Structure 1
Amino acid sequence: MKGRYAAAFSIAAAMAAQAHAQSTVTLYGIVDLGLQYANSAQTSRVAGVPQGKSQFAMTDAHSTGMSGSRWGLRGAEDLGGGLKAIFALENGFLANTGALAQGGAEFGRQAWVGISSPWGTVTAGRQYDPLVNYVQQFAASGTFAGYMGSHPDDLDNLTNTNRINNSIKYESATYGGFKASALYSFGGVAGSVTQNQIWGLGAGYTGTSFAAGVGYMNARDPNVSFYGNTPNKGTATANNIGSAGSATSPESNPVYAGYASAKTLQIIGGGASYNFGSTTVSLVGTNVRFESLGSSSGPNPLGYTGDAIFTSIDLNARYWLTPSLQFGAGIDYTHRNSVKGDDGAKYLQLDLGVDYNLSKRTDLYALTVLQRAMGRDSLGQPAVASIAGFSPSSTDKQVGVRLGIRHKF
């Protein structure tokens, strides 16, 4: 009898171990905190004139650093036949205060579930758009400069300021270094298939020394569907992109906040990199179109019509002096066309960074971004410099500096 019980116990233990091996859940995260300085940060607007002062602050990386603080869970269950059930829940938070990021969403960074197979994956939920998946890695913000190295006010979303709700995504397996994806977000409006819908495409190639990627996104009624998809936003009567400021508050996203009435947001981008030993050079180009201004998708106090079109070019390089010490430098130029007869706008930005790895999981970094603005901004006022994550400058120039520490677990 004892032999039978021992055999049965051994079989049960083996089956339990096998079942355990077929299902995994991983806890992971990043804490990124730093001190920052801006030579000019708006405090208010008085009689239409920006007021500003220099600013020192402690901030989470969600605003200006290398990697927004987060914790998450990823899981997979083997279903047999090469199929797996997969999921991800990722929370963003502010390490300096403990508050939720992404407008107060509990899992504002990612929340999806799906099936993976040898031919690719299908996932559904709150997800990244194709430009983030395939183009971000080539921009200065995605390599060494962090969020503050975004193109002005992250107008092309390459630093993932906004995610996509109610979406289903297919991403292929990798074939010879190539892979591709397609995404569709349901608008969910009764009687209208296209209202609030978002769709996108992306593709990329990764080789030994060369890599490249392209992405496209089309969002209908973007003030609600794309910029208004967090708990603290969402109505078409409010400007979910930014604001013109007041006597007690600064402007917010002046580069493009005035275009909340666009019926369609279209972003197309591409990037490539080449590795020369210890040096990697990258180039990114994006085109952002706020089309059919004056629709009912959002407020339009300045009476805009037509299209607002931004073009950005980003050239950057990284150099590893040692396996632990990286230097980076980049330059970005952004141009907007004339809207309603204004002078258009131009933004020139220089990004500098250094990153030192104390270990595989902990690093120290220093970032500096200098930006100059020219022309008129989307709020119909003389353009002010607006480094992503900082309060806009009160003048056409702004310098932002950050010293940070990042730990991954």
Structure 2
Amino acid sequence: MKRKLTATLLGVVAAIVGSSQAHAQSSVTLYGVLDEFIGYQSAKVGGKSTSLYALGNNGEMTSRWGLRGSEDLGGGYRVTFDLESGFDPGTGKLQNQYRFFDRQAWLGIAAPYGEFRFGRQNTPMFAWSGNMDAFGAATYGSGYNDFANWLARVDNDISYISPKWANTQVELHYSVGGQPGTLAGNAVYQAGAQTAWGPVYLAAAYLNAANATATNRVQEIMAGGNIDYGWGKIYFGYFRANEIISDTTGNALSNPAGKYDPSVGPVSNTPGNWHSTYSLSADYRFSPFLSAGIGYAFLKDSSSLGDNASQMSAIVNYDLSKKTRVYGVVSHLNNANGAQYKMTGASVTTGSFLTPDAGQSETGVQVGIRHLF
């Protein structure tokens, strides 16, 4: 009798294990982007009219490669991960020399009630900004990107991404600051929501980043969206941040090589000094392959410096296939007073941009090609 009972129990266990293994399916995907352009910029630098001709990288998108995967655990549960590294195809160098997976490196658990992720992650502001701009929040032509320069990604980030309820999705983030005796020092808090109703898309996000002693905070707010009118889209975006050094960099956070380094933490800012960016743009699809767009962005400096700026641009995109696109951009940027904003593209690459003198204008032209794999 005991032998029969033991055999029966072993059979049940084997069946459960076999069923579990049958459901535990996994997949890994290699993906990436290659983006190169020929660029021209003209501005007054060091008191002299200066022109720059460059073979640049990362015009419309940042060149990268990545590994994305998941394992089905059954019952609606999955293990997920993403490892992503940026590079410059013009030189073959890592875009960020002090880290390998500089763009993303996270592990997650997805469940029917949402997904939790742990590690280096994109911010909602970065992920959604391209939906608020006809230039995809990139290229020389995006005044929205050139002026606002939101924090793109954060280390040691714990996030919750909700399922879609009534076409609406919510994200909550907390980045561990790693400071002894405090959970607030160097911590970064984020919240955002996006929704789509027919032809209308709307999104909003908030970021609050503390310094090491939690005595000073950088705050950023983004809101905007687009409306599909049938032959194209009308885009609108707003960004506000309490920054004082954004006259040249657009970012009050320590941002080496365009990537946030939480070991350094936010720099100081002056209470009441806000920079607000307003962007309006639109595109028109002549065919499924050809589209063109125009845009205008304005930055208002609320401080006594009055370092305002504005930018007007146009773009043409032609899709050679579903994965390959050629694009052309022309843009003109005006700085006022001590402002020194510049055209940077999808991410800063040394040698592909000029920083004009204070209060000087800048003109830029790009012709590039982008391939997805």
State if a TM-score over 0.5 links the two structures: yes
Contact 1:139/1:316 (<8 A) preserved: yes
Contact 1:130/1:182 (<8 A) preserved: no
Is 1:373–2:335 an aligned residue pair? yes
Identity of matched residues, %: 31
Partner of residue 51, structure 2: 54
Contact 1:156/1:267 (<8 A) preserved: no
Partner of residue 247, structure 1: none
Deviates more, 1:101-110 or 1:366-375: 101-110
- Alignment root-mean-square deviation, CA: 2.7
Aligned-residue offset at 1:146: 3.1
Contact 2:147/2:299 (<8 A) preserved: no
Contact 2:329/2:367 (<8 A) preserved: yes
Is 1:347–2:340 an aligned residue pair? no
Contact 2:242/2:270 (<8 A) preserved: no
Distance 1:313 1:343, change over 3 A: same
Q: Deviations over 1:42-68 (max 9, x none)?
A: 4xxxxxx5555101010111xxx1111
Distance in 2, matches of 1:37 and 1:146, equals 12
Contact 1:41/1:391 (<8 A) preserved: no
Amino acid at match of 2:148: L
Q: Deviations over 1:341-370 (max 9, x none)?
A: x43211111121101011111111101221
Partner of residue 41, structure 2: 38
Aligned-residue offset at 1:41: 6.6
Partner of residue 170, structure 1: 160
2:120 to 126, 130, 136: 126
Q: Deviations over 1:309-340 (max 9, x none)?
A: 101110010111000001011100001112xx
TM-score, length-normalised on structure 1? 0.74
Distance 1:197 1:385, change over 3 A: closer
Distance in 1, matches of 2:266 and 2:25, equals 48
Aligned-residue offset at 1:397: 0.5
1:314 to 279, 284, 300: 279
Is 1:194–2:184 an aligned residue pair? yes
SS of aligned partner of 1:187: coil
- Paired residues for 1:100-139 under 5 Å: 100-139=94-133
Q: Deviations over 1:355-409 (max 9, x none)?
A: 1011111111101221001122xxxxxx334223422123611011111011111
SS of aligned partner of 2:242: strand
Partner of residue 62, structure 2: 68
TM-score, length-normalised on structure 2? 0.81
SS of aligned partner of 1:137: helix
Distance 1:134 1:358, change over 3 A: closer
Contact 2:124/2:171 (<8 A) preserved: yes
Distance in 2, matches of 1:68 and 1:79, equals 33
Distance in 1, matches of 2:125 and 2:77, equals 27
Contact 1:385/1:396 (<8 A) preserved: no
Amino acid at match of 1:329: I
Is 1:327–2:292 an aligned residue pair? yes
Aligned-residue offset at 1:195: 1.2
Contact 1:135/1:214 (<8 A) preserved: no
Partner of residue 386, structure 1: 342
Distance 1:322 1:150, change over 3 A: same
Distance 1:67 1:298, change over 3 A: closer
Distance in 2, matches of 1:140 and 1:263, equals 35
Aligned residues between the structures: 329
Aligned-residue offset at 1:163: 1.4
Distance in 1, matches of 2:230 and 2:267, equals 51
Distance in 1, matches of 2:112 and 2:145, equals 40
Contact 1:387/1:400 (<8 A) preserved: yes
Aligned-residue offset at 1:151: 3.1
Is 1:263–2:216 an aligned residue pair? yes
2:93 to 71, 96, 99: 99
SS of aligned partner of 1:29: strand
Contact 2:211/2:267 (<8 A) preserved: no
Distance in 1, matches of 2:140 and 2:99, equals 20
Is 1:283–2:247 an aligned residue pair? no
Distance 1:52 1:187, change over 3 A: farther
1:337 to 294, 302, 306: 302
Structure 1, unaligned runs of 5 or more: 1-14, 43-48, 226-261, 377-382
Contact 1:333/1:347 (<8 A) preserved: yes
Contact 1:274/1:281 (<8 A) preserved: yes
Is 1:358–2:320 an aligned residue pair? yes
Amino acid at match of 1:184: Y
Distance 1:177 1:147, change over 3 A: farther
Q: Deviations over 1:57-115 (max 9, x none)?
A: 10111xxx111101100000001110000000001000101111134421111110001
Distance in 2, matches of 1:406 and 1:343, equals 39
Aligned-residue offset at 1:176: 1.8
SS of aligned partner of 1:93: strand
Distance in 1, matches of 2:88 and 2:238, equals 31
